[in-house]
Amino acid sequence: MSARLLRRRRLLKAPLALGAALAAPALIRAARAAETLKIGMISPLTGPGAEPGRIQLNSARLAVDEVNQKGGVLGRPLELVVEDDQTTNPGAVLAFSRLANRGDCIGFIGSIRSTQMQAIAPDVAKAARPVMFGGTDPSLTHMGNPWLFRCRPNDLYSAEVIADYGVNELKKRKWAIVYSTDAFGSNGMKALTNALQKRGITPLLVQGYANQQPDFTPIVLALRGSGAEVMGSYFTFENDCAVFARQVRQLGLAIPWVGSPSIVSPVTLHLAGPALWGTFGVADFNEDSSPTAKAFAEAYRRAYGGSSPDNGWTYDAVRVLAQAIGAAGSTEPEKIRAAIIAIRDFPGAEGTYNFDANGDGLHGYNVVRNEKGKVVFMRHIEFPAS
């Protein structure tokens, strides 16, 4: 080939090479924009928590879809990466470990169960990325772990609301407390005992039970013989609450009952049926409590065949993370963490979020009543941040 022809070919290729070089950064930017921002989520896909876990996962997916329909965050779509925690503490540890070891999750959604959050807390500290969670044990945000952010009110508030409603609205002063002896129930019991003592009341009976207990007859008989006029409870699992409720009715114990949120779970309501009619509960979520809660419930029904959610904390968790990442303008963990702490008056399905320095975003509960199987909103009771 002649030297002249070679020079001509080089001249023809030069604009193409220059064009490719100029286009490369744009292509890289486009590729990066298309990359998803991954949020890891541990969820009970199996085990006794599978049904409420399904609602929590659906709620998170609904939030991801809504955020992505509005353009995502930092120009990138969100993506949930889910691991099954099997409704056990070892399962939760394994699930979180798998997510954290991926290295590409900018934040996580943890468990609604305090025992699981206690189990994974050391690994959360090592991962050093924000974890939004629903467990209500107050100690979880008071043990020096800066990466835990609660999207439900903690049990200092549920206890205050149970005590306030029972004493001031129901006008009852002779109390009994029934609680699970796990971390959730034990801390709830302590908080309720303290809340009653602040009101000058010492419970007549404080009775614990082991999770997955098949027979509550001895406990119900102890309640009946205690002289209590009202009962407060902290049940971890819905099936335990339902078995207890049926035996309460069967053994003729007819006193007002104000329970922790599991008493109004759809699973509990289905399993217990009329045995829970007339009871009260503190509910972090009720669709009649705010316009945001109502809009979320309606969107959930449209998305999932008409069924209603019993909570909105995972929906809020995704939206709070998205808000914080956008406000930070970065995926750096420390900047996201600072942006979460700075959130004020964020309208969530669970309530209005104002995060304190400990990582608690909500500071009150709704009181609801079971009226022949329908959960009816009574009032919201708010307390100053602890």
Domain with residue 341: its CATH number is 3.40.50.2300
In a domain, 361, yes or no: no
Question: Average per-residue pLDDT in the chain?
Answer: 91
**CB-CB neighbours of 108 under 10 Å:** 26
70/118 same-domain check:
yes
373/234 same-domain check:
yes
> How many separate domains does the chain show?
3
* Strand partners for 368: 281, 377
Q: What is the pLDDT of residues 60-80, one digit of tens each?
A: 999 999 999 999 999 999 999
In a domain, 62, yes or no: yes
160/172 same-domain check:
yes
Residue 167: strand, helix, or coil: helix
Q: What is the pLDDT of residues 86-136, one digit of tens each?
A: 999 999 999 999 999 999 999 999 999 989 999 999 999 999 999 999 998
d(CA 287, CA 282): 13
Q: Domain containing 279: what range?
A: 156-283+368-382
In a domain, 334, yes or no: yes
15/40 same-domain check:
no
**CB-CB neighbours of 336 under 10 Å:** 22
In a domain, 362, yes or no: no
Confidence of residue 18 (pLDDT cuts 50, 70, 90): very low
In a domain, 95, yes or no: yes
246/373 same-domain check:
yes
Evaluate if residue 20 carries a pLDDT over 60: no
129/62 same-domain check:
yes
The residue-averaged pLDDT of 164-177 equals: 97
Q: Measured in whole angstroms, how far is the alpha carbon of residue 56 from the centre of its chain?
A: 8
**Residue type at 47?**
G
305/260 same-domain check:
no
131/169 same-domain check:
no
241/377 same-domain check:
yes
Confidence of residue 22 (pLDDT cuts 50, 70, 90): very low
Q: What is the pLDDT of residues 138-170, one digit of tens each?
A: 899 999 999 999 999 988 899 999 999 999 999
316/351 same-domain check:
yes
221/238 same-domain check:
yes
252/374 same-domain check:
yes
**CB-CB neighbours of 369 under 10 Å:** 16
